[in-house]
Amino acid sequence: MLDRKYIEAWLARLAEIESLLADPATAANQRRFQELLQEHARLLEIRRAADIYFRLQKEREDSEAMLRAEGGDPDLLEMARAEVERLDRELPPAERALLETVLPSDPADSRNTIMEIRAGTGGEEAALFASDLYRMYTKYAERCGWKTGLIDASPSSLGGYKEIIFSVEGRNVFRTLRYESGGHRVQRIPVTEAGGRIHTSAATVAVLPEAEEVDVEIKPEELKIEYCRASGPGGQSVNKSDSAVRIVHLPTNTVVTCQDERSQQRNREKAMRVLRARILDQVRSAEQARLSNERKTQMGSGDRSERIRTYNFPQNRLTDHRINLTIYTLDRVMEGGLEPVVEALREYDIGSRIQQLMKT
């Protein structure tokens, strides 16, 4: 059973925050004031969930007391038994909802995201699969009301992508898409296969929370910036001006290129967005590596060496290997219907973190 004192500590913090927000001196520091407002909003969620849980708990105690009373009215006893049964059904989800509100939150959850998809083993078929994944994610973003923007792409000769980088902007984007990082495997008959044999190809997906300038300090002297003419299958910006940008972050040897825009300045801005996100991802990954126990129990750690999912087209089957989830609606998923997969992953992640919280 949930320890009431643990929750009361959070409610005491809520009272403290409300006192600070009422102090005119707090409003003088706008950054601190905004931080307190965000914390206050989260603590209000905890209080609302706690009110529901402890109300149900009190009702159950009262019903139990009625059942234990000697010489009780039979009709009242039957009502009490029915109440206990109802409350036994309602208390577990109420407890889970309360525990979910007190789980440590990731500051990056509400951030916009940069996604990178790269073709792996499989040649042209892998590039075509990378293109299919890009289409799947953009369609899912549309369903969520998010905005996507192409940052850079390296097309293949058959219309796929050797690599494609794009942004996703909207509410809780990173919290939703973080579980997509890893190796994605496809099993199907490629368009390049004349004999009708099923081939296995792969692509990797990286999901990076977008970094702000205050998150990552990049000094000008740490950058090597080169400009050249864009290359590719064609278009107005190709081979006509030195608009393509290549940036090397010397301390980490992180290389970013961008040639999607006709403007050199726009390509440089996009490249810097990707560079900041990659460096922030390196910092986050190093921190998660230090917290090895957390890394074992939490999903979405960003380990892209892990094969996370198989897309089997002949059987219309999708399997997520991390949670042993198998669904036979691959056609809907590829049209952007990722909701069953994303929700199952998030529920599994939350459940694992709650179990860890209850052990501490």
Residue 232 predicted with pLDDT over 70: no
d(CA 148, CA 135): 11
Sign of CA dihedral 116, 122, 123, 127: negative
pTM above 0.95, yes or no: no
b/e burial code for range 175-184 (CB count within 10 A of at least 16 → b):
bbbbbbbbbb
Structural domains of the chain in order of their starting residue, each with its CATH number = 4-102 (1.20.58), 113-210+320-354 (3.30.70.1660), 220-286 (3.30.160.20)
Structure tokens at 115: 């996604």
SS3 of 148-181: the string is EEEEEEEECCCCCEEEEEEEEECCCHHHHHHHHC
Residue 290 predicted with pLDDT over 70: no
b/e burial code for range 271-282 (CB count within 10 A of at least 16 → b):
bbbbbbbbbbbb
Contacts of 24 (CB under 8 A, 6+ apart): none
Residue 360 has a pLDDT of: 66
**Least confident residue range of 42-46, 58-62, 101-105, 143-147:** 101-105
Q: pLDDT (tens digit, 9 = 90+) per residue, 165-223?
A: 999 999 889 999 999 999 999 999 987 776 788 999 999 999 998 887 667 788 888 88
DSSP 8-state code for residue 329: -
- Please say whether the beta carbons of 205 and 182 come within 8 A: yes
Measure the CA angle with vertex 202, ends 197 and 205; round to 5°: 155
Residue 262 has a pLDDT of: 78
Judged by phi (left if over 0) then psi (alpha if -120 to 50, else beta), residue 319 lies in beta
**Least confident residue range of 46-55, 109-118, 127-136, 331-340:** 109-118
Contacts of 198 (CB under 8 A, 6+ apart): 187, 188, 189, 314
Residue 287 has a pLDDT of: 66
Task: Kindly indicate the confidence band of residue 156, based on its pLDDT and cuts at 50, 70 and 90.
Answer: very high
**Least confident residue range of 11-20, 233-242, 308-317:** 233-242
Written as one letter, the residue type at 184 is H
| Number of other CB atoms surrounding residue 232 within 10 Å | 14
Distance, C-alpha 92 to centroid of its chain:
26
Residue 231 predicted with pLDDT over 70: no
d(CA 209, CA 279): 10
Residues in the chain: 360
Sign of CA dihedral 126, 319, 355, 176: positive
Residue 214 has a pLDDT of: 63
End-to-end alpha carbon distance in the chain: 14
Residue 217 has a pLDDT of: 80
Contacts of 245 (CB under 8 A, 6+ apart): 225, 226, 227, 257, 258, 259, 264, 267, 268, 271
% of the chain at pLDDT higher than 70: 88
Structure tokens at 74: 């039979």
Residue 300 has a pLDDT of: 47
Residue 230 predicted with pLDDT over 70: no
Q: pLDDT (tens digit, 9 = 90+) per residue, 67-87?
A: 888 667 788 889 999 999 999
